[in-house]
Amino acid sequence: MPDSRAFVQHLSEALPYLQRFFGKTLVIKYGGAAMDQVEARLAFFQDMVLLRQVGIKPVVVHGGGPMITAMLKRVGKTTEFIEGLRVTDAETVGITEMVLAGAINKGIVAEINRQGGRAVGISGKDGNLIEAVKHRPTRPGQDPARPEDGIDIGFVGDVSRVNPALLEALDNSGFIPVVAPLGVGSQGETYNINADTVAGAVAGALRAEKLILMTDTPGVLRDPKDPATLISSLSLPEIERLTREGVLSGGMIPKIAACRQALEAGCKVCHIIDGRVPHAALLEIFTDAGVGTLVTLS
């Protein structure tokens, strides 16, 4: 009986959130440990089906860097990174597309469908969803007004435009879009793009109710080694200060940049949560306490 009462209490707590988010779009970046740990992975697929079942529209953007590295190793190619970005020649981008838009994307689609959902897998190339330009990391002392002087790392892209019509059509037809983070250039070339960046751009273009970034930490930490230093909420002005203080660094930088892009383009709020926790997305969406770090415009 106590367990039953607790269940009913939690379900009752979720009611106002079910009402608030009914018919709204949530963009969820799925990656890291959430993709690797069996329990967290299964919980994620179930969560996406549940969200769609109660009238919420999830859009999933996934990563897959470790799987790309593993495939490159299998075919005898070494992986070089510059400023955290994979140097991507023509052969590497072909393998990247095969892994992201093929094995990973269709695997996620199959698992969501197996749980009773209706998922459709696409990449940023479908319907010109993600238009991209070459990304060039800056050289020391480079004039920021001349990005063409940056380092050429191949087919690594920046999002130049999102055309959300395809996502909106899938959403309105009851499907769960699953997006591989690839973009298309002006000549039809493929660009590999950071999945956080794609998720932020998509959330902004859709003016999503929420952008949820699943990562391998509890959220933004003042001390990366101490989960107890979790920062529960941040605004963009506070982010500027923490960046100057060196609190935000490494893999958290593209996530914060994605939140900024999404918020400035019209996404309501962003969350950085621990994807290692089963049902982390539902805990964030449907409970009063929430989890992780909430990022807001002001």
CA–CA separation, 238 and 4 (whole Å): 42
% of the chain at pLDDT higher than 90: 68
DSSP state of 103: I
Q: Domain tally for the chain?
A: 1
Q: Using 50, 70 and 90 to split pLDDT, how confident is the model at 1?
A: very low
Which structural domain range is residue 103 located in? 13-286
The residue ranges of DSSP E strands in 72-118, in sequence order, are 81-82, 85-86
DSSP SS3 for 247: coil
> Is 291 a domain residue?
no
> Is 295 a domain residue?
no
Contact 255, 273 (CB under 8 A): no
Tell me the mean pLDDT in the region 189-195.
96
| CATH classification at residue 109 | 3.40.1160.10
Give the model confidence (pLDDT) of 79-125 as tens digits. Answer: 888 877 889 999 999 999 999 999 999 999 999 999 999 999 999 99
Contact 27, 208 (CB under 8 A): yes
pTM: 0.93
Which residues, listed in sequence order, are joined to residue 221 by a DSSP beta bridge? 230
